[in-house]
Amino acid sequence: MAVTTTSVAETCAAAKKAARTLATAPTETKNAALAATARLLEERTAEILEANAADLADERAAGLSEALRDRLTLSAERVAAMADGVRVVAALEDPVGEELERKTLESGLDLRKIRVPLGVVAVVYEARPNVTIDCAALTIKSGNAIVLRGSSYAERSNGALAAIVREALAEAGLPQDSVLLLDGGGRETLAELAMQEGLVDLLIPRGGEGLKAAIKDVATVPVMYAAAGNCHVYVHAEADLEMARRIAVNAKVQRPGVCNSAETLLIDAAIASRFAPAVLGDLAAAGVELVGDERVRAAAGETEVGAATEADWGTEYLGLKMAVAVVGSVEEAIEHVNAHGTGHSEAIVTTNEAAADEFAAGVDCAAVYVNASTRFTDGFEYGMGAEIGNSTQKLHARGPIGMRELTTFKYVARGDGQLRE
């Protein structure tokens, strides 16, 4: 296993040392490490699945919800998808060294603004072992070292995956400590990681509001939150109702335990009596527990809809439960989303371009969809190969965090003896 038993500070210091080498590594060398990672994932699939099966059988995983067990579970297909994602990252253009701006100053200095790695990125994540590979691939290609702190539920799976990446790094002649995995530990380990000033350049927590709050209380390093996704689908009065039914079901059911699944369905009052019985029937048939406001319950027909509480509108269920409300207009839909959403992904279904534009401009979120499911907010779907998470913040990065979001820039000025007077 690749889980480190050294202290958090020692681990971060080792990553910092590795980052200096990785920052200037040629693209070809980084791509060789990624190619080796993809190959080893395929060659060691049986070992990875054996480690994952042990995690799933462990008593620590016994009390997990169905959604969390789905996140924890690996299959041959999911391992193959990881390998495919690594190859996509390898094929992408290297962001390091990209020239963002260039100009000649009045002094005659040639000033260039170029993209450079951040240094050491630390990622805290919960039950999904594939995050280990996604994060490692993106940081290697963007010239960053990474310190990973996964869930204790997935300790064996993460260890097997991190060991593969470290072997691939060594094969390519890069420092193995470019990828380091901390043991699960407790809140003390998390707090220590969040306070590694001078060693950790960016901390990215992937998880719910509890994890976010725990980091906020103690962090002294820069933090970019890949936080909760309370996403909405709004069906406008001028929607194609058959399309709306398909989108609503897909956004909720296709994989309910992920952050870009829809948690709330908003139905325009003008179509509620026609549309609600059909879409609610579809959702109930798919196993979704429904709660709603009084207007939805009155329009539900034969489908059972429980009474929604105020808390339901702000809840990320991460499972087969959905809140449903009737709204009177685009403005009311926007108001509801902005009051209860988490800034992740929102969708409108409509044939009215003005309504689509109003919704897209008005909702405060990282991604807006017109006539499409919220499930597309994903680094792989966006052509990034993978993602470290989805940022719901507005500074530095917003939406899927890919390679370019893991870089900063520096100014390089070339002169011929200029002095400032």
Structure-block tokens of residue 202: 């960016």
**How distant is the alpha carbon of residue 378 from its chain centre?**
7
H/E run at residue 419: none
CA–CA gap between residue 140 and residue 29 (Å, rounded): 10
Q: Does 394 reside within a domain?
A: yes
Q: Does 383 reside within a domain?
A: no
Same domain for 304 and 204 = no
**How distant is the alpha carbon of residue 118 from its chain centre?**
18
Amino acid in position 224: M
Same domain for 210 and 147 = yes
Same domain for 248 and 219 = no
pLDDT at 187 over 80: no
CATH number at residue 320: 3.40.309.10
Q: Give tens-digit pLDDT for 382-404.
A: 988 788 888 988 888 899 999 99
Same domain for 395 and 273 = no
pLDDT of residue 77: 97
CA–CA gap between residue 145 and residue 175 (Å, rounded): 9
Q: Give tens-digit pLDDT for 102-130.
A: 999 999 999 999 999 999 999 998 878 99
CA–CA gap between residue 69 and residue 81 (Å, rounded): 18
**pTM for the whole structure:** 0.86
CATH number at residue 195: 3.40.605.10
Structure-block tokens of residue 332: 């009311």
Tell me which residue has tokens 């990553």: 15
Q: What is the mean pLDDT of the chain?
A: 94
Domain containing 193 equals: 3-226+388-414
CA–CA gap between residue 257 and residue 254 (Å, rounded): 9
H/E run at residue 19: helix 8-23
Same domain for 214 and 136 = yes
pLDDT at 2 over 60: no
Q: Does 242 reside within a domain?
A: yes
Contact 25, 94 (CB under 8 A): no
CA–CA gap between residue 261 and residue 346 (Å, rounded): 10
Q: Does 276 reside within a domain?
A: yes
Same domain for 250 and 111 = no
Q: Does 381 reside within a domain?
A: no
The count of domains in the chain is 2
pLDDT of residue 370: 98
Q: Which residues of 45-94 form beta strands (DSSP E)?
A: none
pLDDT at 1 over 50: no
pLDDT of residue 64: 83
CA–CA gap between residue 230 and residue 341 (Å, rounded): 5
Same domain for 243 and 114 = no
More confident call, 408 vs 396: 408
Same domain for 193 and 137 = yes
Q: Does 132 reside within a domain?
A: yes
3 state DSSP class of 408: strand
CA atoms within 13 A on the CB side of 76: 2
Amino acid in position 307: A
Amino acid in position 137: A
**Residue in 242, 404, 251, 268 with CA at minimum distance from that of residue 336:** 268
pLDDT of residue 185: 65
